[in-house]
């Protein structure tokens, strides 16, 4: 098997490399003030026109988490059910107090999620985003409308557990992955 390198090609703050998406989570609850810090980090993300289109719905109680889990595809449910905090990341489709569609809402919500994920690492937590969920089901659970909001991701958050706690095939995949070459990321336009 090829060894996976998570070596940067240039100097970069280690926080960017330290963030990765495990699947093995401890069920230990996250203190409420740490949860508030995650959303505070998200809150300060930049956004088009400072519209702040993101909205994070979160579940910590067993009943609420079960409802969020019901919207996930089975292969994500299998590992995400252990995480003590589940989040659904929504973005308002139109600018506030307007019917004009905000085509940057996904970009802005992505920035907010990354802020949340980096703050999580500062607290010793890990986040794992998921596209594997049924958006219609998630809207039903939340009582939100597809006309008003896009749901971009579900996110599992918690402390890492030993990979041996995972069901297969997730157990085998519990390693930080690598990236395409830096040369493929940015092109100087001349
Ligand atoms: C929007 C989004 C959707 C993702 N969907 C899933 C998913 O449904 N299931 C899963 O196991 N991982 C999912 N991932 C995790 C990615 O596979 C992971 O972020 C990527 O391989 C990079 O690895 P890293 O986050 O460990 O650096 C998703 C990540 C993002 C950002």
User: Which residue's CA is minimally distant from atom 29 of ligand 1?
Assistant: 129
- For ligand 1, pick from 128, 167, 171, 178 the residue to mutate: most ligand atoms within 8 Å of CB: 128
Alpha helices in 44-94 (DSSP H): 62-70, 74-80
CA 152–ligand 1 middle distance (angstroms): 12
Closest CA to 143 of 78, 73, 71: 71
Q: What pLDDT, on the 0 to 100 scale, is given for residue 6?
A: 87
For the chain, strand residue ranges (E) read 54-59, 85-92, 126-130, 149-158
- Reading the block at residue 185, the tokens are 């990321």
Q: What is the mean pLDDT of the chain?
A: 96
Q: What pLDDT, on the 0 to 100 scale, is given for residue 103?
A: 98
Q: What pLDDT, on the 0 to 100 scale, is given for residue 167?
A: 87
Q: What pLDDT, on the 0 to 100 scale, is given for residue 5?
A: 72
The residue ranking higher by pLDDT, 133 or 168, is 133
- Reading the block at residue 24, the tokens are 């093995």
Tell me phi and psi for residue 94, to 5 degrees: -105, 155
* Residue 5, phi-psi category: left (phi > 0), alpha (psi -120 to 50), beta (remainder): beta
Q: In this predicted model, what pLDDT tens digit does every residue of 19-58 receive, in sequence order?
A: 999 999 999 999 999 999 999 999 999 999 999 999 999 9
Band (168; pLDDT cuts 50, 70, 90): confident
**CB proximity list for 106: less than 8 A, separation 6 or greater:** 91, 150, 152
Closest CA to 41 of 104, 105, 117, 109: 117
- Residues 53-78 have a mean pLDDT of 98
Asked if 51 and 84 count as a contact pair (C-beta separation under 8 A), the reply is: no
Band (4; pLDDT cuts 50, 70, 90): low
The model scores a pTM over 0.95: yes
Please identify, by atom number, the ligand 1 atom nearest to the C-alpha of residue 128.
Answer: 15
- Whether the per-residue pLDDT at 73 is higher than 80: the answer is yes
Band (59; pLDDT cuts 50, 70, 90): very high
CA 130–ligand 1 middle distance (angstroms): 6
For residue 153, what is the enclosing H or E element?
A: strand 149-158
Neighbours of 83 (CB within 10 A): 29
Q: In this predicted model, what pLDDT tens digit does every residue of 91-134 receive, in sequence order?
A: 999 999 999 999 999 999 999 999 999 999 999 999 999 999 99
User: Which residue's CA is minimally distant from atom 27 of ligand 1?
Assistant: 20
The CA distance from 91 to 54, in Å, is 4
CA 123–ligand 1 middle distance (angstroms): 20
CA 155–ligand 1 middle distance (angstroms): 10
Percent of the chain's residues with pLDDT above 70: 98
Q: What pLDDT, on the 0 to 100 scale, is given for residue 3?
A: 54
Q: Is any ligand 1 atom within 6 A of the Cβ of residue 20?
A: yes
Please identify, by atom number, the ligand 1 atom nearest to the C-alpha of residue 113.
Answer: 31
15-19, 97-101, 168-172: segment of lowest average pLDDT: 168-172
């Amino acid at each position: 098997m090829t060894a996976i390198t998570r070596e940067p090609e240039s100097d970069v703050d280690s926080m960017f490399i330290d963030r990765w998406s495990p699947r093995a989570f401890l069920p230990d609850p996250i203190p409420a003030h740490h949860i508030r810090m995650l959303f505070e980090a998200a809150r300060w993300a930049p956004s088009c026109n400072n519209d702040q289109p993101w909205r994070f719905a979160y579940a910590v109680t067993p009943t609420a988490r079960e409802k969020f889990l019901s919207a996930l595809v089975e292969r994500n449910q299998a590992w995400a059910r252990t995480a003590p905090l589940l989040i659904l990341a929504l973005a308002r489709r139109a600018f506030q107090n307007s019917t004009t569609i905000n085509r940057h809402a996904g970009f802005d919500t992505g920035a907010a999620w990354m802020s949340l994920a980096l703050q999580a690492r500062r607290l010793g937590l890990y986040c794992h985003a998921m596209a594997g969920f049924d958006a219609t089901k998630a809207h039903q659970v939340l009582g939100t409308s597809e006309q008003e909001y896009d749901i971009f991701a579900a996110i599992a958050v918690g402390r890492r557990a030993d990979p041996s706690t995972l069901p297969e095939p997730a157990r085998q995949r519990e390693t930080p992955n690598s990236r395409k070459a830096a040369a493929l990321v940015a092109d100087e336009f001349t």
